[in-house]
Amino acid sequence: MTRKALGRGLSALIPDSIDRGRSASGDYFLCPIEKIKPYKKQPRQYFDDQKLNELVASIKEQGLVQPLVVRAGKNDTFILVVGERRWRAAQKAGLKDVPVVIRNVNEREAFELALVENLHRADLDPIEEALGYARLMDEHEYTQEHLATRIGRDRTTIANTIRLLKLPDRTQQAVRSGAMSPGHARALLALDKAPLIDRAARQVVDRGLSVRQTEAMVKALKRPPSADSTPSSPNVKNLQERLARTLKTRVRLVASDKNRGRIEINYASLDELDRLLEILLK
């Protein structure tokens, strides 16, 4: 039997209103908040304090309008599946009881529901999203195509997001914080080596480079040394010497034909590259 994609119709899990006490089917009611335990494998790891406090203020004024989704735990407790931010805010607001919807789901389904809910609310940073995709693929042997169907996402989007996990930790943190977009980060992946990616990422953030500028920088860094001959014109040699004095490194002007060519700038270390980039990207 084909299972319904979770990426659509999530609202069908949550009724519009809830009364105190169990419903006739026993699946939704007002639950003492101390009986609800957090989901340890929640895909979302970061909760913005300012936004959380705004929700606390709203709950104090209006109450918790949208119920939490839980599953049965041990000893008459419930495990939170969907709505951890609301649960945290309800605790800070001092609520004793909160509306819940009980769903009979297994561990995999619980994680999928939590991931989809966060995706639809745009609550995950790109790295959290990538980790969620990777976990479902690793633990449940999903292909990218299967995962795309299950959560209502395009396969290419999933593939591009998972690629972010190849970034070194420092650059991942820049993506998490929003200092750099996933587009910038994917461009930097072409550099392959972690130290070079981190140095280039710092330049992207410090200089406020666009994605296109980042791609151009990466292309320049990856260009192999030229085997072409350097023109012997005295004017060209003079220009090379002037550039070398300004940049304090070896510079070559390489002709491709009569009217075209390129400038090659040597660097001996990542520190020197950092210095050169600071000059060139002013």
Q: Catalytic residue, from 34, 84, 139, 215: name it.
A: 84
- Any catalytic annotation for residue 84? yes
**Backbone φ and ψ of 46, nearest 5°:** -115, 130
Q: Tokens 């169907």 sit at which residue?
A: 149
The one-letter amino acid at 222: K
Beta strand 97-102 pairing with 68-72: parallel
Residue 52 buriedness (CB in 10 A; 0-12 / 13-18 / 19+): middle
Residues sharing a CB contact under 8 Å with residue 116, sequence separation 6 or more, in sequence order: 6, 7, 10, 151, 152
Radius of gyration of the chain (CA): 27
Which tokens sit at 188? Answer: 């930097």
C-alpha to C-alpha distance for 148 and 130, rounded to whole angstroms: 13
- In DSSP notation, 232-261 reads --HHHHHHHHHHHHHHTS-EEEEESSSS-E
C-alpha to C-alpha distance for 20 and 249, rounded to whole angstroms: 76
Which stretch of DSSP H or E encloses residue 32? strand 28-32
Which tokens sit at 38? Answer: 């957090």
User: Among all residues, which ones are annotated catalytic?
Assistant: 84
